Amino acid sequence: MKNILNAPFVQEMKDATANMYRLGWDERNGGNISYLLDESEVAEYLDLSNVIRTIPTGFDASALIGKIFIVTGTGKYFKNVEKDPETNLGIVRIAKDGTTAELLWGYKDGGKFTSEFPAHMMSHISRLAIDKNHRVVMHSHPTYTIAMNTVCSIDEKEFTHKLWQSNTEAIVVFPDGVGILPCMVCGTNEIGEATAEKMKNFRLVIWTNHGIYGTGTSMDEAFGLIETVEKTAQIYMLTLGHVVNVIPDEVLKGLASLWNLKPLDGILK
């Protein structure tokens, strides 16, 4: 059996959490990541018949029975993942009853997965129904994205348009736009259900006054989506009230045509 600490998926989690903390997206114990793993790959590092303990999922996750995820722990600081992954991360498999998760590795201090585990799993269900290659749900608190969210309408098309007008990369990276939820209590099934509903149409969902959820087929894709929104929101906020030039809709249409993209309907004139 190979050493789990050398597994590529553990390294990816270490790299992503370190980068997110360094960028200021995930202060203290803010933020969480869940990553759907390939069972055959995990079997190279763990005895899949050895269940350390079970943890309630907090909702009916029957759609994910048998699927294995590596997930950041509740109350854990991203800055500590790199030096102690076995305490700050866990690998779990959704059990046959759909309401418990089997711990296969990690959370060695007796902890468990993030309190937003239901929101993550619900989003995985939504995205897998659209894209069988989907793998990652990433949540963070990027500064400028939250700042922009506090001064702009939460109308999704209007917000998306402001982003597209501020940075030519925006429409190229997320032509499907950005979904937005009103301010809600986080860590609840209600916000998880609302996020999952948005995930049927968007890969990115902003939680007003809180942060953003990004998804993807890889860690790089999910990270890159959030990174591009945050960079664009920074441009918007730095120029707020002083904008002379915005990217015209005709140029946005040209970018979409160049890259064979279908922009979210109802935005471009």
Catalytic residues: 116
265-to-152, 158, 160, 201, 251 alpha-carbon distances in Å: 20, 12, 11, 12, 16
CA distance 268 to 151: 22
What kind and span of H or E run contains 204? strand 204-207
Of 128, 145, 150, 134, the C-alpha closest to 228 is: 145
CB 145 within 8 A of CB 221: no
Cross-strand partners of 213 = 139, 205
Of 118, 84, 250, 96, the C-alpha closest to 192 is: 118
Phi, psi angle pair for 183, to nearest 5°: -60, 125
Token readout for 165 is 């007008």
* Helix/strand/coil percent split, the chain, to 5: 40, 20, 40
- Work out the number of other CB atoms within 10 angstroms of the CB of residue 215: 26
CB 87 within 8 A of CB 111: yes
